[in-house]
Amino acid sequence: MFAFFHRVALILFIVAVIPHAAQAQEAICDDLIDNDLDGLIDCDDSECSDVDGDGFVNAMCGGGDCDDGVFDNFDADSDGVPDGCDQCPGADDASDADGDTVPDGCDVCPGSDDTVDTDGDGAPDGCDICPGSDDNVDSDNDGLPDDCDICPGSDDTLDADGDGTPDGCDLCQGFDDTFDTDSDGVPNGCDVCPGFDDGIDADSDTVPDGCDACAGFDDTLDADSDGVADGCDLCPGFDDGVDTDGDGIPDGCDDPCGQTDSDGDGVFDNCDVCPGFDDNQDSDADGVPNGCDVCAGFNDNLDADGDGTPDGCDVCPGANDDADADGDSVPDGCDVCQGFDDGADSDIDGVPNGCDVCPGANDYSDADGDGVPDGCDVCPGGDDGVDADGDGTPDACGLCMGVGPDADGDGLTDVEEGDLGTDPNLADSDSDGLNDRAETCVHNTDPLDSDSDNDWVEDGIEVLFGGDPLYWDTDADSVSDGAEVYVFGTNPQDWDTDDDFLADGEELFFFGTDPTLADTDGGGMNDGLELFFSFTDPLDPLDDEVITLSLPAPGNAGVNNSWTLTHATPFATVYLISGTFPGPTNVGLCGGIDLDLTGLSVVGTGATNALGSYTFNAFVPPGGAGLTVSYQVLDLVGCQTSNVATNTY
């Protein structure tokens, strides 16, 4: 660029001098003076000769020759200036529209004076890229002088998003910096809070006021991580978004009793002792509202036999009114004939059919006084109980005396077998595992029928395993012994194989539950409890109410700590045990299993309310800090044990 402007200056000099050359030539050559001080008068001076023969004295002598040695008569651009002295070769030196002495064809800045360069940067003012500054200083090499750089240090020509702001100084790269709908100085594409001023943040939480989730508080502080800033938390420490009951109050701060009082008694539904009735009405003053009185007019809390039925309404005092295994509406403790319907007495002898000694006859009619009713006397007129040879046949009737030939050695004489129709040459005529004498004289089974009671189990097998070969349903659970053994896998000698308070037959043919699983649906509560205590579906695990022990607040040494029990049996006596009960869940009065508390400590006892809830207060001495304690609750009425709850104080 320097060379360019140097050339311009030379041209300006020539333009200023050449027009006067011809006139100067004549004056110099005619003045008889040695102008060049070479000792020769100019006109005689060889230096004032016309070296190039163009009719002009050499320039070095002050003559009119434009360029010594070049013929000055050549003028390619026809501008009247010989080519050798052309100011602007190829253009008319006389054409100077802007009057700056630089011909138009060589104008550095057409239309402006090329000689005016106020900032001295070599660029005429009219074409200055950056007026008043040096156009040659461009540190970032983007073609714009530093003083006029839009984005110093970056290339002003790079504008990927086409917003007129070079990329290096883009406020919002990739978006148009000129679009700022909310006039907050932040382009729309990078607006933190569209429609509002991003610069206004009264609570200094980096969230503009217009988009503040919690105005006046720091939106970034959310200790319980529920998406609600601490300053606006409805329920600090809990998730405001979890509201299971839809009452507008997060679960963590829900009143455990709820907010609804459907029966208008002043007690919220979740804590209603007697839903649907006025908890404040208690005529018999037993703490149980009238609407839920188990035994109206009597104290529901007095239950000497612990069967859940108050003494005043006990059907069977001293026994569990709810235990009615045979379903005859007579509690087991007062059953005349356990396992059978006390109301069924076909022979009207006062003895239910299931316990009839002599079905179809009067059990109390015994003419020979042998304890066997007349209708079933083996040896009428004789004492059926006298059997000296122990063959099962009373001595008075002579059978099974064993006197005489016995070909098969089964204990029956050949004559007796002839009378009975058995095979005198085969000890076990019906091949049931019992010899003919054992069947005839001991078990009273049919020696000619391998299954005397037609229960699909041979007589010998029933005797071997303690069953009754004369009764098709040994345990009186309405399922034949054979079906229990070969079909259902239940115990033919246990009416309740899985100890869930339901007879096997009830489970199979009435409730559809599994008689081999105490908890058919695996939900945590046995089938009997679901049907008769919680009234839930024993085939649906989701509705099981599992007895639960918990410590709602952190435990502390030196004070009483409240352990809460839920889903136990209503109005049941419960025991808080320090440690873990090692036995099965059926304890105490359940299933005949004895309660063994060896090595355990009963911390407290109590009686649950109508909802099966109770709160124990367990004290840990002040020196017990750091001690880990395990508790478990025993519900002897509901035959349940709670989870093992452990806490470190």
The C-alpha atoms of residue 70 and residue 271 are separated, in whole angstroms, by 124
The owner of tokens 């188990």 is 294
> Of the spans 120-129, 202-211, 285-294, 505-514, which averages the highest pLDDT?
505-514
Instruction: Provide the pLDDT for residue 501.
Output: 82
What mean pLDDT do residues 387-397 have? Answer: 72
| Percentage of residues in the chain having pLDDT higher than 90 | 8
Report the DSSP beta bridge partners of residue 566.
548
Q: Is 400 exposed, middle or buried (0-12, 13-18, 19+ CB in 10 A)?
A: buried
What's the pLDDT band for 33 if we cut at 50, 70, 90?
A: low
The owner of tokens 């007796």 is 416
* DSSP labels, 65-121: -SSTTS-TT--TT-SSS-GGG-SSTTS-TT--TT-SSS-GGG-SSTTS-TT--TT-S
> What is the value of pTM for the model shown?
0.33
What mean pLDDT do residues 471-475 have? Answer: 86
Lowest mean pLDDT among 22-26, 274-278, 424-428: 22-26
The C-alpha atoms of residue 317 and residue 391 are separated, in whole angstroms, by 44
647 φ/ψ angles, rounded to the nearest 5 degrees: -145, 140
DSSP structural state of residue 44: G
* DSSP labels, 549-617: EE-SS---TTSEEEEEEES--TT-EEEEEES---S-S--TTSTT-----TT-EEEEEEE--TTS-EEEE
Confidence check: pLDDT of 119 > 90: no
What mean pLDDT do residues 530-556 have? Answer: 77
Q: Is 562:551 a contact under the CB 8 Å cutoff?
A: yes
Q: Is 346 exposed, middle or buried (0-12, 13-18, 19+ CB in 10 A)?
A: exposed
| R_g of the chain, CA atoms, integer Å | 61
Average pLDDT, the chain: 79
Confidence check: pLDDT of 463 > 50: yes
Q: Is 508:484 a contact under the CB 8 Å cutoff?
A: no
Confidence check: pLDDT of 37 > 50: yes
Instruction: Provide the pLDDT for residue 134.
Output: 86
For 339, the token pair is 């396992």
Q: How many helices (H) and strands (E) does the chain have?
A: 8, 8
* CB half-sphere exposure, 493, CA atoms < 13 A: 9
Total Cβ atoms within 10 A of residue 423: 17
Instruction: Provide the pLDDT for residue 41.
Output: 55
Question: Is 190 in a helix, a strand, or coil?
Answer: helix
For 377, the token pair is 């006397």
What are the chain's domains?
Answer: 2-94 (no CATH), 386-467 (no CATH), 548-648 (2.60.40)
Total Cβ atoms within 10 A of residue 615: 13
What mean pLDDT do residues 314-319 have? Answer: 85
- Pick the closest to residue 127 from 102, 144, 110, 143 (CA basis): 110
Q: How many residues does the chain have?
A: 649
Instruction: Provide the pLDDT for residue 448.
Output: 92
- Pick the closest to residue 374 from 393, 359, 361 (CA basis): 361
What's the pLDDT band for 15 if we cut at 50, 70, 90?
A: very low
What's the pLDDT band for 11 if we cut at 50, 70, 90?
A: very low
What mean pLDDT do residues 306-315 have? Answer: 85
C-alpha pair distances (Å), 362 with each of 36, 339, 350, 481:
179, 21, 8, 28
What's the pLDDT band for 3 if we cut at 50, 70, 90?
A: very low
Instruction: Provide the pLDDT for residue 423.
Output: 92
Q: Is 481:509 a contact under the CB 8 Å cutoff?
A: no
What mean pLDDT do residues 369-384 have? Answer: 82
Instruction: Provide the pLDDT for residue 584.
Output: 44
What's the pLDDT band for 284 if we cut at 50, 70, 90?
A: confident
Residue type for position 513: T
Total Cβ atoms within 10 A of residue 82: 20
Angle of CA points 80, 84, 89, to nearest 5° = 65
For 350, the token pair is 């006062």
What mean pLDDT do residues 612-619 have? Answer: 80
Residues 84-95: tens digit of each pLDDT? 788 899 888 889
Confidence check: pLDDT of 156 > 90: no
What's the pLDDT band for 544 if we cut at 50, 70, 90?
A: low
The C-alpha atoms of residue 94 and residue 105 are separated, in whole angstroms, by 10
Lowest mean pLDDT among 211-220, 287-296, 307-316, 617-626: 617-626
Residues 419-461: tens digit of each pLDDT? 889 999 998 888 989 998 888 888 889 999 988 888 888 888 8
Higher pLDDT, 539 or 394: 539
DSSP structural state of residue 517: -
Q: Is 638:547 a contact under the CB 8 Å cutoff?
A: yes
What mean pLDDT do residues 233-242 have? Answer: 87
Higher pLDDT, 46 or 394: 394
Residue type for position 557: A
The C-alpha atoms of residue 527 and residue 145 are separated, in whole angstroms, by 92
Instruction: Provide the pLDDT for residue 4.
Output: 41
Q: Is 204 exposed, middle or buried (0-12, 13-18, 19+ CB in 10 A)?
A: exposed
What mean pLDDT do residues 34-39 have? Answer: 60
* DSSP labels, 407-443: TT-SSS-HHHHHHHT--TT-SSTT-SSS-HHIIIIII
Instruction: Provide the pLDDT for residue 39.
Output: 62
First to last CA, the chain: 88
Instruction: Provide the pLDDT for residue 48.
Output: 57
For 357, the token pair is 């000694």
The owner of tokens 């800033």 is 229
Total Cβ atoms within 10 A of residue 318: 12
The C-alpha atoms of residue 373 and residue 383 are separated, in whole angstroms, by 11
Q: Is 545 exposed, middle or buried (0-12, 13-18, 19+ CB in 10 A)?
A: buried
The C-alpha atoms of residue 125 and residue 146 are separated, in whole angstroms, by 17
What mean pLDDT do residues 169-185 have? Answer: 85
* DSSP labels, 442-469: II---TT-SSTT-SSS-HHHHHHTT--T
Instruction: Provide the pLDDT for residue 5.
Output: 42
